[in-house]
């Protein structure tokens, strides 16, 4: 199985889009996307300096546009899974078919502007903690009134909150940790971003999403999200919620992902995956930074993507697991029964409680693909549903 990943803020580099503009239609595409983005994407991706593209209001739509531009040159119909880190989730949602590219870029523009405005309300910031015991680190953050904004795996937790709390953390770091102050505008993915979440929710309410047609993992909990409206709700909620990239990588492992492509500006997520998913089952990784990397990316898709005629896991003909846990089919359902669109056909027992499994499309319950009490991973097919009801 092959996954395409979209990076988040902090991965940008001056001029990183310059080589892409040599491709036919690329500059025109960026000019068009600049309208909903509310910024000049061509300038930002080619001539802007590091300080200019560090601005949250500019960076977020730039990153989403860059990922989508590169993905247009890949055979995405053979890709089974997409995921993104922070604002990269908007690009991943577009690649999964939930929203058009223009809608994803519009949301990124609103998100970036409103998060920048929220950062200006009071002095906040972020710091990365490397190493140490995770529980001790989380306890230290709580004691200083800070939030775990990102849990990136591989011994990396990003703290966010008031500047005085960050200063106390740096002066008294948890045992065996190194604290690195991040050059960001404020405390992203914390309650400090509540004003931005409110505005983004108002804009997102006007979108009519589709259900994903490939597996789409959520930063909220690493789960595969199967309903378009829930995807939008999670994208909005993520402005103030922690990024659980560690759980997304666990889902990559649980699903048996063998190949990973990181879209430009690539490197950050590839590094996290490489450090977290080690050993014999480690996926093959391609970092797609320039058009020169396209042949390697296409080759990886050819070798790890879905074979001709095979359809993505998230097609409506199957119901899939929304989370990791053990499967419990509906007590009264048997193969051959008719089910309605949206009907609950079972649940997955997780540590946090039961999570419902619903049918995307009505029809006949043709076949159970998992038995009672089977361990299941996010996105794993649980039942095949044929025909219409």
If you write DSSP's letter for every residue of 159-191 in order, what string do you get? EEEEHHHHHHHHHSPPTTEEEEEE--SS-TTSG
Residues contacting 99, CB < 8 A, separation 6+? 93, 107, 207, 209, 210, 228, 232
Q: Report the predicted TM-score, pTM, of the whole model to 2 decimal places.
A: 0.82
pLDDT tens across the length of the chain (389 residues): 999 999 999 899 999 999 999 999 999 999 999 999 999 999 999 999 999 999 999 999 999 999 999 999 999 989 999 999 999 999 999 999 999 999 999 999 999 999 999 999 999 999 999 999 999 999 999 999 999 999 998 789 999 999 999 999 999 999 999 999 988 889 999 999 999 999 999 999 999 999 998 999 999 988 888 889 999 999 999 999 999 999 999 889 888 899 999 999 999 999 999 999 988 889 999 999 999 999 999 999 999 987 543 444 444 456 778 888 899 999 899 988 999 887 899 999 988 889 998 887 778 888 898 899 999 887 777 888 875 44
What's the N-to-C CA distance of the chain in angstroms? 31
Q: CATH homologous superfamily of domain 2-118+191-304?
A: Malonyl-Coenzyme A Acyl Carrier Protein, domain 2 (3.40.366.10)
Residue of 6, 11, 34, 86 with catalytic role? 86
Q: Can you name the CATH fold of 318-386?
A: OB fold (Dihydrolipoamide Acetyltransferase, E2P) (2.40.50)
Listed by start position, the domains of the chain span: 2-118+191-304, 121-182, 318-386
Q: Return d(Cα 259, Cα 74) in angstroms, integer.
A: 14
* 364 assigned to active site: no
Model pLDDT, residue 189: 96
What are the DSSP E strand ranges found in the chain?
2-6, 81-84, 124-131, 147-153, 156-162, 177-182, 215-216, 259-262, 284-287, 318-320, 325-329, 338-339, 344-350, 353-358, 363-368, 375-376, 381-386
* 189 assigned to active site: yes
What sign for the dihedral angle of Cα 341, 224, 75, 17?
A: positive
Q: Return d(Cα 52, Cα 265) in angstroms, integer.
A: 16
> Quick one: angle between helices 268-276 and 245-254, nearest 10?
60
Model pLDDT, residue 315: 43
Q: CATH homologous superfamily of domain 121-182?
A: Malonyl-CoA ACP transacylase, ACP-binding (3.30.70.250)
Distance of CA 5 to the CA centre of its chain: 7
Model pLDDT, residue 308: 43
Q: Which residue has the tokens 């983005």?
A: 37
Residue of 85, 144, 147, 189 with catalytic role? 189
Tokens standing for residue 189: 């993915």
Model pLDDT, residue 317: 59
Instruction: Tell me how crowded residue 73 is: count the other CB atoms within 10 A of its CB.
Output: 15
């Amino acid at each position: 199985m092959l996954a395409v990943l979209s990076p988040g803020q902090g991965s940008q580099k001056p001029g990183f889009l310059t080589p892409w503009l040599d491709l036919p239609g690329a500059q025109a595409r960026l000019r068009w996307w600049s309208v909903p983005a509310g910024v000049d994407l061509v300038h930002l991706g080619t001539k802007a300096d590091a300080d200019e593209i560090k601005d949250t209001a500019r960076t977020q739509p730039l990153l989403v546009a860059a990922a989508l531009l590169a993905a247009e040159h890949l055979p995405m119909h053979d890709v089974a899974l997409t995921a993104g880190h922070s604002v990269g989730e908007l690009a991943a949602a577009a690649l999964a078919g939930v929203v058009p590219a223009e809608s994803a870029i519009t949301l990124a523009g609103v998100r970036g502007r409103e998060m920048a405005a929220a950062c200006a309300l009071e002095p906040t910031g972020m710091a990365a903690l490397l190493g140490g015991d995770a529980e001790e680190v989380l306890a230290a953050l709580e004691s200083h009134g800070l939030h775990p904004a990102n849990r990136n795996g591989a011994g990396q937790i990003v703290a966010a909150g008031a500047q005085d709390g960050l200063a106390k953390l740096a002066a008294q770091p948890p045992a065996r940790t190194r604290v690195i102050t991040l050059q960001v505008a404020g405390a992203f993915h914390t309650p400090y971003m509540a004003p931005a979440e409110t505005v983004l929710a108002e804009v997102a309410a006007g979108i009519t999403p589709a259900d994903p047609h490939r597996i789409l993992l959520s930063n909220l909990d690493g789960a595969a999200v199967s309903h378009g409206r829930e995807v939008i709700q999670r994208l909005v909620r993520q402005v103030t919620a922690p990024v659980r990239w560690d759980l997304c990588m666990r889902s990559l492992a649980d699903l048996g992902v063998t190949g990973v492509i990181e879209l430009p500006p690539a490197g950050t997520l590839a590094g996290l995956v490489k450090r977290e998913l080690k050993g014999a089952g480690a996926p093959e990784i391609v970092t797609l930074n320039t058009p020169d990397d396209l042949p390697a990316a296409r080759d990886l898709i050819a070798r790890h993507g879905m074979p001709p005629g095979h359809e993505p896991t998230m097609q409506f003909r199957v119901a899939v697991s929304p989370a990791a846990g053990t499967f419990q089919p509906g007590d009264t359902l048997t193969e051959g029964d008719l089910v309605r669109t949206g009907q609950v056909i079972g649940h997955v027992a997780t540590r946090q409680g039961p999570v419902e499994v619903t049918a995307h499309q009505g029809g006949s319950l043709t076949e159970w693909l998992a038995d009672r009490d089977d361990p299941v991973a996010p996105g794993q097919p649980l039942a095949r549903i044929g025909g219409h009801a």
